Structure 1
């Protein structure tokens, strides 16, 4: 039976995806309108301090598909940053997954290493950059080290916590069916913990992406979004800085949305959510 929109609202049902998308697009248009009004119409700030949407869009278009000798730099920077963050993120997920499994299976490790990782998670990623540079040198390995460190901690804590939240009845049923030890962990506990693990993977992505940009700010000469921010600062090109910030936000949001879609599908398959 199809439920009308009015009945859905009266019942307190969650809004559909299209409704949410409409609200988001409306909010974006409102922000762009306010930005245009403040800069291009009212001129409250000079362009070299706060450029308007047109100037930022021009910088983006030159940086992404321009044909001049200095154009296309943003596109190259996006490619370099994505390569680094995906490499670091995959390594962080693999390392965090193994450590999380070990913490979930062994109480002494969870009581010691888990507490240390929880404390490290509260340290801003930029605080690890000086140590990484002193240890690895002023190169790409230092950036990857910070990305891996920031990414694997939420994965390890999410896997460990998800395993602890598996209902004991599932483990009991698994033992009844003959699963023990590693088989019980891999075939019963881990599949049951998967929805919560995916939440940790999404958190790890946001941590890794922020850590990447912070590390890239200090690595000169590498094609990266962090370098573009530094170039904009050194040349007082506020439009370049704003365009790079927008690109960083869009890329981070797109990857988060993709991970959210996967997480939502898994949660619906597990019966934890219903289709809106």
Structure 2
């Protein structure tokens, strides 16, 4: 005699038997682990609107800049130095206005930002996998690590003469110099971040059945993001410096007109107000990229990891 389905169902319910849940993949386990760790370490932030956050990030450097310009103008009024050797803020502002009126300033800024951004993205695409290989492959790190650190110390301007001989007066010369300055910084920053990853995370990933590649991309790389971000910031700084050095030295040919070229032209004309104006613009672009691109990402990352509680009070 066949058992009654209702009786069987009631018996299964009374004994607490349940249908087994489908097995989750290692990828889902890693995601849940990362979310749990982030939730455990997160410091509850004080709610602030977007305008307040932007104001807190932009207002302090703007106020400092205004104070420095006022002190500069005060010196020129009181000391009355030679305007050709010690131009005041008004002279520099007039030089910026002249170059804006003839369109050279817009062209130079657009060319340099496009080159710097493209070179930085290429450096990230090269430096990230290189850093992962160095961190996970000890033999490669012992062989290539000292060379990479030496390249990071080597001034990027030293590559300009060789790049001109290899590539001529083309944009390839500029991009080569940018890559040689940025790639070592990005790779070493990632290696440093991975070195500070707690070993418990590696063990957890291994217990969950992660392969070597999954362990590197799903466990180690997310855990190393603070150090990696520091490497990216340093890589951008080296990219921008290398770009300016290449544009100052490599002029002519098919190389476009950038901020470095404008700085060199102003020097050849002994136009100190224009030189100072170009220097200030180069500085302003670097600060703007830091405030707009890197600072918000860094604050959000540190807030998720609970590493910067004082910034949210």
Name the TM tier (shorter chain): 0.7 to 0.9
Shift of 1:223: 1.1
Give 1 or 2 for the bigger CA radius of gyration: 2
Q: Is the 8 A contact 1:163 1:193 kept in 2?
A: yes
Residue 251 of structure 2 is aligned with which of 195, 217, 220?
A: 220
1:159 to 182, 190, 195: 190
RCO higher in structure (CA 8 A, sep ≥6):
2
Contact preservation (8 Å) 1:128, 1:146: yes
CA contact (8 A) 1:140 1:219 kept: no
Deviates more, 1:180-189 or 1:158-167: 158-167
In 2: Cα distance, 1:74 partner to 1:21 partner: 24
Number of residues of Structure 1 aligned to a counterpart in Structure 2: 258
* In structure 2, C-alpha distance between the alignment counterparts of 1:24 and 1:232, rounded to whole Å: 28
Matched, 1:237 2:274: no
- Unpaired runs of 5+ in structure 2? 1-44, 47-52
Q: Match for residue 9 of structure 2?
A: none
CA contact (8 A) 1:77 1:228 kept: yes
| 2:67 is equivalent to residue 33 of structure 1 | no
More deviation in 251-260 or 145-154? 251-260
Separation in 1, partners of 2:66, 2:116: 30
What SS class does the counterpart of residue 236 from structure 1 fall into?
A: coil
Cα drift, residue 218 of structure 1: 1.7
Question: Is the 2:160–2:250 Cα contact (8 Å) retained in structure 1?
Answer: no
Contact 1:63 1:73 in 2 (8 A): yes
Q: Which runs of 5+ in 1 are unaligned?
A: 4-15
Aligned pair partner of 1:139 in 167, 170, 173: 170
Residue 149 of structure 1 is matched in structure 2 by 180
Q: TM-score, normalised by structure 1?
A: 0.87
Distance of 1:95 and 1:239 partners within structure 2:
39
Task: Tell me the alpha carbon deviations over residues 81-100 of structure 1, each in whole angstroms, 9 at most, x when there is no partner.
Answer: 11111111000011000111
CA RMSD after TM alignment: 2.1
Distance 1:78 1:17 in 2: 24
Structure 1 residues 224, 55: closer, same or farther in 2, change over 3 A?
Answer: same
